[in-house]
Amino acid sequence: MHCSFCASNITKALERQQGVLSVNVSLAHEEVLVEFDPSKVEGWQLDETLRSLGYTVRDPDKVRSFEEEEKELRGARNRLLGSATLTFTALGIMSLYWLGVARPMPTWMRVGMIALALSNVFGFGFPILEMAYHSLRRLILNQHVLMELAAFGGLIGGFIGLFVDKRFPAPDFFAISVFIVSYHLLGGYASLLVRTKSSQAVKRLLSLQPQTARVIRDGKEMTIPVQQVSKGDLVRVRPGEAIPVDGVVVEGVSAVDESIVTGEPIPQEKRVGHEVVGGSVNTNGSLVIRVTKVGSESFLQRVAEYIEEARAMKPGILQLLDRVLRFFVPGVILAAVAGFTAWSLGAWALTGAPNLQRAAFAALSVLVMGYPCALGMATPIAMIRGGGLAAERGILFRSSEAFHVLQSVDTVVFDKTGTIMVGRPSVVRVLPVEGVSQREVLALAASVEALSQHPLAKAVVEAAREQGIFLEQVNDFQEVSGAGVRAKLSGKPIFVGKLDFLQDMGVF
């Protein structure tokens, strides 16, 4: 589906089926929700209706793979590039003609323009022609029909200029056929590109969750797909691994990076009884987690559903757009007919001679300039893309209406500091005790922290290196999960960590 016209076409076709009670089309999902009476119409008949319009039917419960989406995108891009090649070739020929370099146009150029027009309309543009044909069969007027009327109008005008009336500028008419097909393919590719990239943004969010989990059953550890994990299962997570499920810690102590949830860059200490979220990262200690949520109940799945819901919901501005588009194509066609009539019958009534050349150009101008796909794509595609970009940055829109009203927001209230943090801690000041320099304190701390993977440790080490401080080799390094680190330097113990950790170590 390219734009709101496609959604409207599907709705009209399905609603004409006997037994169909309601139809809801999601342009973002490329999905249709149909409520129907199975005693009057069957599901396969609805599938056939969609296929007859030129669409491919797939199971909504089976998410398309990255490779499938990229293959579809690659096909659309290749058609666009091929069509664009023909368009630029036609533009080069027409430029020579318009500038007077090739006037009158040589025979080989005329033949070339015919070949370019036919190749674009019946070659790269054939999928559009097929969809226009199926739409007309069901008496549905849409952007495909409008494009083909303009394209075939150009072909007819060109052949009239070649074989019937030399006053018709055949090259110009053939050029119209070439250009309009490329424009349509460009609109379709832009729409597909935005929807594909937004869909992949959601999939990248879901990819934070590991595909397997190490489950403890009957005292034995086994690795199984995360889809087979059940509530109540015990799952072991080793240091450095992503947590595969939502649950509660029943064994172990560790620091867990929950930045995907809170935005806070500092790992949080997790002990027995603490909740953990699937997709967060276990930084150092080993944990055993009792599973509390699986499948659609898990945090990441709910986040993905929120994003999809926001992309699917139709705010007031889109509902207004749908009402406008319902009358747009018939209006354009009527305007084209009116233009042709005015310069043919109208001119004949006033002057005694119809101006068929002007009549043809007037009708074609309306069909080409009134091409509606940009209008139908602009608003929904902007919202789809906005939802995808927001997801990449960890911003969730619970409703598409938020896009529409955001311009009027003058005050924003944040519920946690992580929302507005850079996401990377850094050393701002070093406050040494009397008798010790800042450089000495930073050197000792960085030498120990160099062996830790904690974000605060990395910040300390980075600050020392920025000042050109040499880091010394330490011995007997030990990391106390959620508290700090300890090591020996030249036989002297050094402790770096939280205040209560330092108190426990007898520092003061």
Active site (catalytic) residues: 415
Q: What are phi and psi of 277, to 5 degrees?
A: -115, 135
Q: Cβ distance 486 to 505 under 8 Å?
A: yes
Q: Give the separation between CA 203 and CA 304, rounded to whole angstroms.
A: 8
- Tokens encoding 120: 């674009």
Q: How far is CA 113 from CA 7, 92, 118, 183, 186, in A?
A: 35, 11, 9, 17, 21
Cα-Cα-Cα-Cα torsion 260, 261, 263, 267, nearest 10 degrees, comes to -80
- Tokens encoding 382: 């902007």
User: Which amino acid makes up residue 359?
Assistant: A
Q: How far is CA 391 from CA 6, 203, 204, in A?
A: 26, 10, 9
User: Which amino acid makes up residue 187?
Assistant: G
Q: Cβ distance 280 to 174 under 8 Å?
A: no
Q: Give the separation between CA 240 and CA 411, rounded to whole angstroms.
A: 40
Cα-Cα-Cα-Cα torsion 211, 216, 218, 223, nearest 10 degrees, comes to 30
Q: Give the separation between CA 281 and CA 109, rounded to whole angstroms.
A: 65
Q: Give the separation between CA 508 and CA 502, rounded to whole angstroms.
A: 7
Residue 234: how many other CB atoms lie within 10 Å: 16
For residue 214, with 0-12 CB atoms within 10 Å meaning exposed, 13-18 middle and 19 or more buried, which class applies? Answer: middle
Q: Cβ distance 485 to 477 under 8 Å?
A: yes
